[in-house]
Each structure stands twice: as C-alpha cells, then as structure tokens.
Amino acid sequence: MEYITCHDCDLVVELPQLKDGERAYCPRCHHLLTNKIPDPLQRASAFSIAALILLILANCYPFLTFSASGHVQVMTLIQSAIALYRGGSEILSFFVVAFIILIPALVLTCQLMVILPLLLGREPLINRRLWARAMYMLSPWSMVEVFVVGVLVSLVKIASMATIILGTSFWAYVGFTLLFLLAFTSLDRYQLWNMLLPHPQPSAQPGRSAISQNLASCHVCTLTVPVDEQRCPRCHAPLHVRIHNSLQNTVALLITAFILYFPANILPITRTEQFGNIIDSTIIGGVVLMWSMGSYAVAMVIFFASVMIPMAKLLALAWLSWSVGNANPDKARQRTTLYRVTEFVGRWSMIDVFVVSILVALINLGNILSIYPGHAALAFAGVVIITILAADSFDPRLIWDELERKSR
C-alpha cells in the first residue's frame, strides 16, 4: 500500500494510483498531498533554464528610465539594492538583493542540479539530497512576484511626477517571474523525492494519525519514519515529531514583530527632498496621499499589504497559538485554513519595502528631487520577515492532536 502522512494534520492517507494531472488531497484537512504532474523533469528543466537566462538578461539592461524637468535617470535592477546601501540602509539592501535576485537564482540552480542528472541518467555533482534540501529551504524566501507588483505600484506613484519608460530588463524580469513560478510548480515534493531517492516506509494504518502509530513525517522530503529516528534516513534532515517548542517560539516572534510594528508605522518610510524642502512620509501618509490624488487602487493595495495584512497576520497567529488547548477542537479544519491563509499572504507585505527600494534608486536628482529610505523601512521589513518566521514555527498539527485527545 502506498501512503503519505499529511503535513498539516498528521493523518496517514492511503494514496491511490494517480494518473497524470490528478491530485490527492487530505480527506481531513484538505491539504494538497501530492500532484502528479505530467513530465515534471522535462518541464521543470526547460522552465528553469529559460528563467535563468532571462534573469541574466534582466541584469544587463536598463530596468526603468525616469525623466523629469529635463533630467534623465536610468535605473538597473541591481541599483534598487545599491541605492538603499548608499542611502544608509545596508541591511535592507541585502534583503532586497537576496529576495529578488540571489535566492531565486540559487533555487533555480539547485533545481537544475537535482533534475538534470535525473533526466540525463548521470551521477550528480556533489550530493543530490543536499541540492534538493537547499532548494526547499530557500524557496519560501524568493519574492519575485511580490517585487513585480512592487514595481507596478511604484510606477503609479511616480507617474504624476515624471515620465517613466519600461526598459528591456523590466520585461525580462516579468518573463523571468512567470517562468520561475512555472518551474517551481512543475515539481511536486512527494513525487520528486520518490524519483530522486526511493525509500521504503514502515507499515502504517491509514485513517489514523502518524503520531498515534509512533511514526513521524519528514518535513523536507515527506517520508514517514519511526519516531525514534534522529534524522530522516532519506534526506538526512533532523526529525521532529512536532516542531520543537512551537508555541513558545511563535509567541516570542509575534511579540518581537508587534513591537517593531510601531516604529514601522510611526517613523517615516521615505524622505523626499525637492528644491531643498524635505518631506517625511509614513506608510499611512503615503496611503492618504495616493487616495487624495485619486489613485484608489494603489492606496488600497498599500493599505492592505502594509497596514492590514501584517496586523491581521499577527492577530491570527496569536489567536491560533492561544486556541491550541483553549478553543473548540471541532473547528480544527477552519483553524487550519486560517493558518494556511496567514502563511500565504505574509510575503505580500514586502510590497512597500520594494516600492521604497525602487523610488530611492530611480528618483535621485540631487536637491532637485530625491527620495531616501526612512528608518521605518527596515523596521517594516523586520515585521514582515519575523511574522513569516512566526508562521513557520507554528505547527498546525497541534490543532489536530487536541481533537484526537478529545475523541479518545
């Protein structure tokens, strides 16, 4: 019998023979267990190679060109990070370059290192499990699609001040983003690891949780193994029946993010200098300004991404952590859905940080018109990154453990 342990609720689920294009969902929490994609290796390798080529092109040409009152400013992709560095926001510039160029490039390289040897039937360079583990570790930190939305928001913000020309690199980056997403979604984690390193699983009874059968599932490669193993025998990742100190870590990270939320909203996120006048603008100030200028859509995007989502995410995770042991266990599925939504939307809050990086790089005409990063930008990036870590350290299986304890 082929089975898989659900990552979100720990249920052991028997897998039927899936045909190409079919998906298997967990009957208890509706988590997508596996997706049988036709020709995954050919698709993923084609998309990854094309994406890498476009990423290189995106770094070779002008990204955006800005012209105002006779002055022309050309910005390349990497300048969005360099300008932050020059503006005194060194840490932020590191995050920007990592999230939009370095990590995506590494994810694609790891992916090719895993799939090309499989496709060509060759021995891989270095250990193939290391490449596959690195790929899954890094992928949540690639924010290419968030950056593209950030660019679009910046364009609307600047449109009233100047003429903007979209450069070759901009289109290359948009193409890269589409191919990157296609490449990554062409591989299913369960199917890939079974092709990469097939491994027997101990016998288990479907319809019961893994923990009740003294089994645990590996969070990296999905293999189910006996709980007394220290490391996964297939991918060598450390094994935890449940994420260690999950609730304590989540709550500690939430408190940190909550504290940072205040400077992020009170301090200026950008400082604009125009003919010697200096105007500081906060996140909310930016929303109000865009609204008063009639850019309602952009005002709404920034308001939701920068103000509502971080707060809603903090509250949702705080409530979920409290709910383990306190709330009605019958609502486990709804709580798991809330958790998944929280996990999904978190990265979109980076939009405003990317907007700042683009404005700072593009609008740089000395004292005629220049924009500099404010202290809120780093605090805000901190809120986003720490809440992503908080969501990551929350173990949704704790919600289901309680339901099982109650029904026993």
The residue whose two tokens read 């449940």 is 242
For the record, the structure tokens of 212 come out as 């009740």
Find, among 354, 347, 322, the residue nearest to 335 by Cα.
Answer: 322
User: Are 103 and 94 spatial neighbours (Cβ–Cβ below 8 Å)?
Assistant: no
Q: Least distance (Å) from Zn ion to the CB of residue 132? A: 10
Q: Answer yes or no whether residue 234 interacts with Zn ion by CB under 5 A.
A: yes
Q: Answer yes or no whether residue 133 interacts with Zn ion by CB under 5 A.
A: no
* Shorter beta-carbon distance to Zn ion: residue 25 or 291: 25
Q: Least distance (Å) from Zn ion to the CB of residue 26? A: 3
Q: Answer yes or no whether residue 301 interacts with Zn ion by CB under 5 A.
A: no
Task: Return the sign of the alpha-carbon dihedral for residues 162, 163, 168, 170.
Answer: positive
Among the candidate windows 3-11, 77-85, 194-202, 286-294, which touches Zn ion by CB under 5 A? 3-11
CA distance 105 to 103: 5
* Shorter beta-carbon distance to Zn ion: residue 232 or 287: 232
Out of 4, 26, 92, 305, the only residue in the binding site for Zn ion (CB under 5 A) is: 26
Interhelix angle 375-393/351-362, rounded to 10 degrees, is 150
* Shorter beta-carbon distance to Zn ion: residue 44 or 216: 216
Give, as ranges, the residues between 29 and 48 that touch Zn ion (CB under 5 A).
29, 31
* Shorter beta-carbon distance to Zn ion: residue 172 or 223: 223
Among the candidate windows 15-23, 169-177, 194-202, 223-231, which touches Zn ion by CB under 5 A? 223-231
* DSSP secondary structure letters along 64-100: EEEEETTEEEEE-TTHHHHHHHHTT-HHHHHHHHIII
Q: Least distance (Å) from Zn ion to the CB of residue 15? A: 13
* CB proximity list for 277: less than 8 A, separation 6 or greater: none
Q: Answer yes or no whether residue 305 interacts with Zn ion by CB under 5 A.
A: no
Among the candidate windows 215-223, 270-278, 322-330, 373-381, which touches Zn ion by CB under 5 A? 215-223
Q: For 274, phi and psi rounded to 5 degrees?
A: -135, 115
Q: Answer yes or no whether residue 232 interacts with Zn ion by CB under 5 A.
A: yes
Out of 211, 221, 317, 320, the only residue in the binding site for Zn ion (CB under 5 A) is: 221
Q: Answer yes or no whether residue 6 interacts with Zn ion by CB under 5 A.
A: yes
Q: For 275, phi and psi rounded to 5 degrees?
A: 45, 45
Among the candidate windows 89-97, 133-141, 167-175, 224-232, which touches Zn ion by CB under 5 A? 224-232
Out of 64, 164, 192, 220, the only residue in the binding site for Zn ion (CB under 5 A) is: 220
Q: Answer yes or no whether residue 398 interacts with Zn ion by CB under 5 A.
A: no
Task: Return the sign of the alpha-carbon dihedral for residues 326, 328, 332, 337.
Answer: negative
* Shorter beta-carbon distance to Zn ion: residue 232 or 384: 232
The residue whose two tokens read 């596996």 is 34
The residue whose two tokens read 């988590």 is 31
How many helices (H) and strands (E) the chain has is answered by 16, 12
Q: Least distance (Å) from Zn ion to the CB of residue 11? A: 5
Measured CA distances, 254 to 257, 261, 346, 349, 392 (Å) = 5, 10, 13, 16, 12
CA distance 7 to 340: 12
Among the candidate windows 19-27, 125-133, 145-153, 280-288, which touches Zn ion by CB under 5 A? 19-27
* Shorter beta-carbon distance to Zn ion: residue 10 or 352: 10
Q: Least distance (Å) from Zn ion to the CB of residue 31? A: 4
Measured CA distances, 391 to 43, 200, 220, 401 (Å) = 31, 31, 17, 18
Q: Answer yes or no whether residue 218 interacts with Zn ion by CB under 5 A.
A: yes
* Shorter beta-carbon distance to Zn ion: residue 169 or 201: 201
Q: Answer yes or no whether residue 9 interacts with Zn ion by CB under 5 A.
A: yes
User: Are 26 and 13 spatial neighbours (Cβ–Cβ below 8 Å)?
Assistant: yes
* DSSP secondary structure letters along 327-382: S-GGGHHHHHHHHHHHHHHGGGGGHHHHHHHHHHHH-B-TTSEEEEE-HHHHHHHH
Q: Least distance (Å) from Zn ion to the CB of residue 163? A: 52
Positions in the binding site for Zn ion (CB under 5 A) = 6, 8-9, 11, 26, 28-29, 31, 218, 220-221, 223, 232, 234-235, 237
